[in-house]
Amino acid sequence: MNPNPVDLHCHSRHSDGVLSVSELIKHAAAQQIQMLALTDHDTLAGIDEAQTLARGHEMLLIRGVEMSATWGSHTVHVLGLDIDLHTPELRRILADIQDLRGKRAEDIASKLERCGIADAMQHTVVEAGHSEITRTHFARMLVHQGHCKDLTQAFKRYLGQQGKRAYVKTQWPAMQTVIAAIHAANGQAVLAHPMSYKISSRQRRALVEEFAELGGNGIEVSAGGAQNPQNIKLAADLAREFGLCASQGSDLHDPIQRWLRFGRLMPIPEDLAPIWTQFRYQRAAA
């Protein structure tokens, strides 16, 4: 038995994960995950297939998405969990974000070309296939073309943040707009990986406060990329202070990133309400 069989954040090849949907579901089943949310960046493309395949493993597939949003001058990620797929408001905003991603990709490629990286866009399109183009695809291209030794170096040198050689600032929809679209789709809005943003602790508190004021439902308390007792405590304190539910997710992109494996999450503190108590199948049972 997996002691912690819930994972509400992961990526497939429809965004920047390396596994196809079917490989991802198989991988999750092998780790004895019982409830899985597929949360690709700004696309719902993999959900129908994931849902069909999960049934064959008696796994509950939660329909999800990880949306890019702007808070002040910062990019933040908001998960929409337990969403309806056919809500026009949500689909419209996702289409807008996909357009922004396409335009940003062209700008990133131009900057890389100016750094002497030939055919940056063509090579990156090959990396991305039919998926949304993310910075991860640019990073993989830089590694595969021999410009960087690994993804970390690619982000550090070129892509990571304002000031890097190929960083392009993008005005994603406002956090408020994204939360409203998730609510229009009857979903739960969850602030992803709150401890991973490069902001001060005072700003982090202001971010979570505003997220709650805007009607946000929960924050990731146990988040794969930033798993340690200190971060869990700080995020749990913020959830308590602002009356938010707690979520947990590995943010799995690639199963070789062993620290982000499915089902290896530290549990969320017991006094916090898990976000999945708000999912519709739970509410119907209550």
Site map 150..179 versus ligand AMP, x via CB under 6 A:
-xx--x----x-------------------
Q: Is 77 in the site for Mn ion (CB under 5 A)?
A: yes
Q: CA angle 252-122-74, nearest 5°?
A: 50
Question: With respect to Mn ion, which residue has the nearer C-beta, 204 or 240?
Answer: 204
Of 170, 68, 168, nearest to 120 (Cα)? 168
Q: What's the first-to-final CA gap in the chain, in angstroms? A: 26
Total interface residues for Mn ion by CB under 5 A: 5
Pick one of 4, 7, 16, 139: the residue that binds Mn ion (CB under 5 A).
16
Looking at residues 39 to 98 of the shown chain, list those that interact with ligand AMP (rule: CB under 6 A): 41, 68
What is the DSSP track for 185-253? TT-EEEE--GGGSSS-HHHHHHHHHHHHHTT--EEEEEEGGG-SHHHHHHHHHHHHHTT-EEEEE--BS
40 binds Mn ion (CB under 5 A): no
Per-residue contact string for residues 245-274; x = within reach of Mn ion by CB under 5 A: ------x-----------------------
Which residues have C-beta within 8 Å of that of residue 112, sequence separation ≥ 6? 120, 138, 142, 158, 165, 166
Residue 76: its H or E element? strand 74-81
* 70 contact choice in ligand AMP, Mn ion, none (CB below 5 to 8 Å, kind-dependent): none
Which two three-digit tokens encode residue 215? Answer: 């009607």
> Which of ligand AMP, Mn ion, none is residue 151 near (CB under 5 to 8 Å by kind)?
ligand AMP
Decide if residue 134 touches ligand AMP (CB under 6 A): yes
Binding site for ligand AMP (CB under 6 A): 16, 41, 68, 134-136, 151-152, 155, 160, 253
